[in-house]
């Protein structure tokens, strides 16, 4: 057997594999001999079938199968030995005229080669690393929400701002007939709110849906319509009041603190606010870190310049797609995936250069911490180590879960690398301003 490579350019090559009869003949003979021992052919006793007949019936198929196996094995071994970093898989050059009656064969494969490039983590322009804080306003609002949630409803004869009204929304043309409870503080604008103020049981209030709620999701729930229907819905509806309640705020006492955090864990309003602030900022940190990860990823893709074997990759996409693709469709798929492929190559280089490999013990520890956090949400604050290990073992026995957790852990490693090596500037910001700045 002989394997040669012709480099077309820095990103494309053709590998030629020459297979001679002596490369496969012994294996073919062995397989046919085994066939002869087990073949059941009418007119012959088992094991007594003439070899000529076995060759006539099975020889071509066995030979083709063995040549293909040998071809794949030798090609894969060659790529490993030559340390060729290929993109996609080798693509066989079309050969419609293979003469399987010959003794020797030649096959050619196109290769797309990964480019050589350098990754610079520290750019000239600093990337913002947000530190999101829960300000006094947010904490106080959360305290009030908790008081409302655990407070008690008191029935009223006449509605006022801040009350909760139960009633039925109707619109015969759209088939809307939904009984629900709305909080007047979710109604948008004084004009709409004033339509409810002073209302009594059995009153019928008429208004336009457009601009009724600040959030279309609230309108969707109130009218029981789909998300698409709620968006820009502009119709007239009636609301028939059936019940008016005000919510009496719960006292900020030890009984409430124990309900929220367990006996004795929070003992004062000050501690309550500290706990709310810490919990909120822990959640904000996850959003800030995801934003940082996205921003550094975008920077790396934009700033790390290299060419790809685009034509080869389009051919590969066309050849390996689940559905048949035209050239234009393959080009379109390539355009969609190019950015992701570039980052995969960049990430791979960073993993190699900074030795960010994931070890099994790290993955196991990560899984156990994840399980511990999930159990804490359900009140299991001190699970036994054996229980955690058993659950982790079951999770890590699932390849899909291993892949998912490995990706999450690698993202954490990449994030730590970015924080250490990238050019970052820390910006402290409230959550409200973070949303405005990042999402508009």
By percentage, how much of the chain surpasses pLDDT 70? Answer: 100
| Contact indicator for 223, 178 with CB cutoff of 8 Å | yes
Query: According to DSSP H, which parts of 56-109 are helical?
Result: 60-81
User: Which of 50-64, 124-138, 166-180, 348-362 is least confident?
Assistant: 50-64
Query: What pLDDT band is residue 215 in, cutting at 50, 70 and 90?
Result: confident
Domains of the chain: 2-113 (3.30.70.1050), 152-248 (3.10.50.30), 269-439 (1.10.3120)
Instruction: Flag whether pLDDT at 272 surpasses 90.
Output: yes
| Contact indicator for 134, 285 with CB cutoff of 8 Å | no
Interval 433-438 mean pLDDT: 93
CA atoms of 284 and 263, how far apart (whole Å) = 27
List own/partner pairs for 217-221 with CB under 8 A and 24 or more apart: 218/182, 218/186, 221/180
User: Which residues, 6+ apart, have CB-to-CB distance to 151 below 8 Å?
Assistant: 247, 248, 249, 250
- Please count the other Cβ atoms lying within 10 Å of the Cβ belonging to residue 163: 21
Interval 96-111 mean pLDDT: 89
First to last CA, the chain: 63
Instruction: Flag whether pLDDT at 333 surpasses 90.
Output: yes
* Residue 427 CA: distances (Å) to CA of 128, 133, 356, 432: 7, 10, 28, 14
Interval 215-244 mean pLDDT: 90
> In whole numbers, what is the pLDDT of the chain averaged over residues?
91
CA atoms of 421 and 396, how far apart (whole Å) = 32
Interval 44-68 mean pLDDT: 85
Instruction: For residue range 372-396, list pLDDT tens digits in order.
Output: 888 877 777 788 889 999 999 999 9
**Short-list 287, 302, 296, CA closest to 419:** 296
By percentage, how much of the chain surpasses pLDDT 90? Answer: 72
pLDDT at residue 69 in the model: 94
CA atoms of 168 and 178, how far apart (whole Å) = 5
pLDDT at residue 55 in the model: 85
pLDDT at residue 211 in the model: 87
Query: What pLDDT band is residue 37 in, cutting at 50, 70 and 90?
Result: confident
Interval 99-120 mean pLDDT: 93
Three-state SS at 404: helix
Instruction: Flag whether pLDDT at 96 surpasses 80.
Output: no
CA atoms of 232 and 308, how far apart (whole Å) = 45
Instruction: Identify which has the larger pLDDT, 43 or 208.
Output: 208
Interval 195-217 mean pLDDT: 90
Instruction: Flag whether pLDDT at 366 surpasses 90.
Output: yes
């Amino acid at each position: 057997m002989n394997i040669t490579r012709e480099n077309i350019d820095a990103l494309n090559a053709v590998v030629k594999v020459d297979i001679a009869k002596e490369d496969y003949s012994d294996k073919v003979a062995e397989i046919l001999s085994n066939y002869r021992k087990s073949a059941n052919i009418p007119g012959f006793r088992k094991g007594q079938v003439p070899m000529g007949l076995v060759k006539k019936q099975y020889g071509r198929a066995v030979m083709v199968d063995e040549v293909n196996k040998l071809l794949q094995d030798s090609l894969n071994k060659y790529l490993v030995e030559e340390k060729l970093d290929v993109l996609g898989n080798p693509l066989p050059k079309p050969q419609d005229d293979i003469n399987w009656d010959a003794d020797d064969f030649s096959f050619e494969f196109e290769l797309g080669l990964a480019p050589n490039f350098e990754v610079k983590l520290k750019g000239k322009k600093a990337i913002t690393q947000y530190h999101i804080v829960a300000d006094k306003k947010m904490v106080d609002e959360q305290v009030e929400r908790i008081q409302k949630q655990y407070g008690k409803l008191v029935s009223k004869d006449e509605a006022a701002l801040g009350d909760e009204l139960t009633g039925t929304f109707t619109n015969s043309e759209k088939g809307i007939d939904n009984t629900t409870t709305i909080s007047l503080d979710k109604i948008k604008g004084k004009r709409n709110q004033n339509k409810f103020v002073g209302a009594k049981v059995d009153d019928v209030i008429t208004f336009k849906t457009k601009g009724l709620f600040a959030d279309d999701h609230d309108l969707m729930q109130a009218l029981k319509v789909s998300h698409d229907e709620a968006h820009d819905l502009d119709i007239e509806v009636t609301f028939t009041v059936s019940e008016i309640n005000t919510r009496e705020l719960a006292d900020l006492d030890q009984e409430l603190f124990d309900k929220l955090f367990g006996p004795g864990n929070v003992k004062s309003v000050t501690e309550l606010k500290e706990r709310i602030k810490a919990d909120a900022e822990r959640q904000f940190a996850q959003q800030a870190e995801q934003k940082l990860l996205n921003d550094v990823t975008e920077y790396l893709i934009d700033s790390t310049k290299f060419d790809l074997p685009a034509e080869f990759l389009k051919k590969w996409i066309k050849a390996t797609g689940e559905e048949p693709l035209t050239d234009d469709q393959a080009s379109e798929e390539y355009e969609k995936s190019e950015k992701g492929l570039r980052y995969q190559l960049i990430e791979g280089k960073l993993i190699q250069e900074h030795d960010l490999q994931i070890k099994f013990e790290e993955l196991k520890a990560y899984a156990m911490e994840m399980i511990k956090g999930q159990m804490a949400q359900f009140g299991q604050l001190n699970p036994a180590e054996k229980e955690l290990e058993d659950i982790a073992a079951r999770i890590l026995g699932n390849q899909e879960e291993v892949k998912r957790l490995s990706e999450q852990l690698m993202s954490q490693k990449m994030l730590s690398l970015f924080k250490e090596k990238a050019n970052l500037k820390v910006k402290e910001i409230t959550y409200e301003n973070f949303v405005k700045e990042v999402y508009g």
